[in-house]
């Protein structure tokens, strides 16, 4: 049975959606038959898991991530892919099948004119910050929303192609072809920088079949002793390729600025129109922009930002009281003062990153109720927006729940009370309905 389960779990990462659906259905059947026992939901959440629709270091599909999240006992889980919503329908369907509270988001970089001279969450890039939308109800957009989403994808791919051409010139003998070497690494044509790094590692192995020659090539091109890296395509090599050729100071790097990415206000307009919650991505509070986080939040909230994303695992060292931890505690306190739901999770888009944060650590344990609250708010919003267009950022919410504390309490209650396998109980609710009547349906 163990071999069968492992085979089905591997099948969940197939680029063939039919194979993924078949494997998940069989795993669910094994759960129903008592051959697999899944744990009760715990206190853990991860609403920032990248899938293979942008880049997941372990190759996880939306179905695989949903399965592992349920198998791990997460109370809620969410996907966040760069520049696309491709994981949405598959992940939410899988989550419902598994009884997992799920939500889907998008991540990109945006330009903030008011901070044009200051760095934020994108190191070394003044005016540029990572930004998210969470709790989208559908990826099937129309009109200006569909155009904006298509443009995001196109902009990202054009950046990658231009980057590849510059890195090709530097690596010389190891040259990539976008269609032959990069696109096959993705299920839906949305490669990222990390896909390029993997493709370069594999192409180098093709060109230099001899391990000594391969190490010599990378030593010369990366300026480090490649014999100490995990050849031919280990995580440390991938990171070294990215740092040397694609990040700031790298041979393929071009400093972004105004026009490189959409403005934050434009991104927020898209997110709101699509039914999501605009979310500021916070890094660590060390940049000159994040050091004035209150000012940054003023700018962000004035254009519609209504939540904040934090990746806790990289913002503390167990048992150490340092600036990282001080900044983490400070931004959590500020977000609570402003009634901004806090969205947390680990990315899994780099080798070695954890599946979930260590909520048992004393530094995080004190914040677990806040993290759970944020996850339940996003889940409650996501389902109400899908079923009745009554999500957190809807006209109904602003009219019926203008006080953000009360709004957070309401959507948290919806998220807590709702059964993932019975989300349709919230379908077709009229916009004249009072919040208390919705909660009564879930009692």
Phi, psi at 368, each rounded to 5°: -55, -45
CA nearest to 262, candidates 109, 81, 130: 109
What's the pLDDT at 199?
A: 98
What's the pLDDT at 362?
A: 97
343 confidence band (pLDDT: 50, 70, 90): very high
Over residues 424-439, the pLDDT tens digits come to 999 999 999 999 999 9
35 confidence band (pLDDT: 50, 70, 90): very high
Q: Is the dihedral of CA 373, 379, 385, 390 positive or negative?
A: negative
Q: Which of 255-259, 391-395, 426-430 has the lowest mean pLDDT?
A: 255-259
Over residues 133-151, the pLDDT tens digits come to 999 999 999 999 999 999 9
Checking if the pLDDT of 83 tops 90, the result is yes
What's the pLDDT at 355?
A: 95
229 contacts 213 by C-beta, under 8 angstroms: no
DSSP state of 179: I
CA nearest to 133, candidates 105, 104, 102, 103: 105
267 contacts 110 by C-beta, under 8 angstroms: yes
> What's this model's pTM, rounded to 2 decimal places?
0.96
80 contacts 107 by C-beta, under 8 angstroms: yes
What mean pLDDT, rounded, does the chain reach? 97
How far is Cα 332 from Cα 282, in angstroms, rounded to an integer? 11
Q: Which of 154-158, 324-328, 350-354, 375-379 has the lowest mean pLDDT?
A: 350-354
């Amino acid at each position: 049975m163990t071999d069968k389960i492992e085979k089905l779990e591997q099948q969940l990462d197939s680029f063939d959606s039919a194979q993924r659906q078949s494997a998940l259905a069989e795993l669910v059947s094994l759960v129903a038959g008592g051959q697999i026992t899944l744990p009760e939901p715990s206190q853990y959440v991860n609403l920032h898991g990248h899938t293979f629709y942008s880049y997941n270091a372990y190759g996880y599909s939306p179905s695989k991530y949903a399965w592992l999240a349920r198998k791990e006992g997460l109370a809620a889980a969410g996907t966040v892919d760069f520049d696309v919503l491709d994981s949405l329908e598959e992940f939410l369907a899988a989550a419902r099948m598994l009884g997992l509270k799920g939500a889907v988001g998008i991540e990109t970089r945006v330009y903030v004119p008011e901070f044009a001279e200051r760095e934020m969450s994108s190191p070394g890039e003044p005016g540029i910050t990572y930004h998210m939308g969470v709790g989208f109800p559908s990826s099937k957009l129309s009109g200006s929303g569909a155009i904006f989403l298509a443009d995001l994808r196109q902009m990202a791919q054009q950046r990658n192609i231009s980057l590849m051409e510059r890195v090709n010139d530097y690596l010389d003998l190891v040259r990539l072809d976008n269609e032959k070497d990069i696109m096959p690494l993705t299920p839906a044509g949305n490669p990222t920088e990390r896909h390029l790094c993997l493709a370069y590692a594999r192409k180098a192995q093709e060109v230099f079949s001899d391990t000594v020659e391969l190490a010599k090539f990378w030593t010369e091109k990366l300026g480090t002793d490649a014999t100490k890296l995990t050849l031919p395509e280990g995580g440390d090599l991938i990171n070294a390729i990215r740092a040397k050729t694609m990040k700031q100071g790298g041979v393929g790097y071009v400093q972004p600025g105004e026009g490189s990415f959409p403005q934050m206000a434009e991104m927020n307009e898209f997110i709101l129109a699509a039914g999501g919650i605009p979310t500021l991505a916070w890094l660590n509070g060390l940049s000159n922009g994040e050091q004035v986080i209150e000012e940054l939040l003023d700018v962000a909230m004035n254009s519609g930002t209504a939540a904040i994303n934090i990746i806790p695992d990289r913002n503390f060292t167990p048992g150490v009281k340092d600036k990282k931890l001080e900044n983490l505690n400070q931004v959590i306190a500020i977000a609570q003062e402003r009634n901004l739901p806090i969205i947390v999770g680990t990315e899994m888009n780099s080798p070695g990153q954890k599946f979930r944060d260590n909520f048992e650590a004393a530094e995080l344990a004190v914040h677990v109720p806040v993290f759970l609250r944020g996850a339940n708010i996003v889940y409650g919003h996501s389902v109400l927006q899908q079923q009745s267009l009554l999500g957190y950022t809807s006209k109904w919410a602003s009219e019926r729940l203008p006080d953000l504390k009360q709004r957070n309490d309401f959507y948290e209650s919806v998220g807590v009370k709702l059964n993932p396998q019975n989300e349709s109980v919230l379908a077709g609710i009229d916009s004249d309905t009072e919040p208390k009547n919705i909660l009564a349906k879930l009692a």
